[in-house]
């Protein structure tokens, strides 16, 4: 059961608007913010994942982490995450899996279902704008994210993950 004022869906976007394609996740939140259901979805933007984000996932039905990623072979990828202390494939110090592990350690409960949307980026230099290809990837990720947010259950997100083909 949700705690008062806790929205069931949390989206955490990590990235730096001053570092080229690293801005993809925060830019995606800017694009979807005007059209999401604010009564059910909370948006957080930060430069990188930090220990404190383990507290943000408390009481959620589902969490979506969004990040730019060099290793994507498609415009974006979508996957369910599992708690782990191992390094994950993001450009930031902590991974979603590490946040989940911290949550489980401090609460002694399983983390809520967490998913990662990685958007393909190519250029991350300080002071650059996002690249032309990253702009296209951003638009594709926007369509996907808005479609995912229309799905009401975690099981539908898991099905989306299992059936994900780009």
Range of the domain at 46: 9-162
Q: 11-61 pLDDT, tens per residue?
A: 999 999 988 899 999 999 999 999 999 999 999 999 999 889 999 999 999
Residue 50 falls inside a structural domain: yes
- Check pLDDT > 60 for residue 88: no
Residue 4 falls inside a structural domain: no
**Strand 76-81 versus strand 114-120 pairing type:** antiparallel
How many whole angstroms separate alpha carbon 75 and alpha carbon 155?
A: 24
Nearest to 149, CA basis, from 68, 31, 47, 56: 31
Residue 1 falls inside a structural domain: no
Residue 3 falls inside a structural domain: no
How many whole angstroms separate alpha carbon 59 and alpha carbon 139?
A: 30
How many whole angstroms separate alpha carbon 4 and alpha carbon 23?
A: 32
Look at 143 and 92; give whichever has higher pLDDT: 143
* Count: domains in the chain: 1
- Check pLDDT > 60 for residue 87: no
How many whole angstroms separate alpha carbon 137 and alpha carbon 75?
A: 5
Query: What's the distance, CA 64 to chain centroid?
Result: 4
> Residue 66 pairs with which residues in a beta bridge?
13, 117
Give the domain CATH number at 56: 3.40.50.1450
Q: And the tokens for 44?
A: 């957080």
Residue 2 falls inside a structural domain: no
Angle at 64 between CA 126 and CA 123, to 5 degrees: 20
């Amino acid at each position: 059961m949700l705690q008062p004022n806790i929205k069931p869906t949390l989206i955490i976007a990590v990235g730096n608007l001053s570092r080229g394609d690293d801005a993809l996740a925060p830019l995606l939140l800017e694009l979807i913010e005007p059209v999401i259901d604010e009564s059910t979805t909370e948006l957080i933007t930060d430069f990188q994942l930090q220990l404190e984000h383990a507290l943000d996932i408390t009481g959620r039905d589902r969490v979506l982490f969004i990040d730019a990623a060099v290793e994507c072979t498609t415009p974006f990828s979508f996957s369910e995450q599992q708690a782990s202390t191992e390094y994950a494939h993001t450009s930031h110090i902590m991974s979603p899996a590490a946040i989940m592990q911290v949550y489980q350690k401090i609460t002694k409960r399983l983390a809520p279902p967490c998913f990662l949307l990685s958007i393909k980026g190519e250029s991350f230099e300080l002071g650059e704008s996002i690249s032309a290809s990253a702009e296209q990837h951003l638009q594709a990720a926007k369509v996907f994210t808005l479609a995912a947010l229309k799905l009401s259950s975690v099981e539908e997100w898991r099905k989306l993950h299992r059936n994900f083909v780009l």
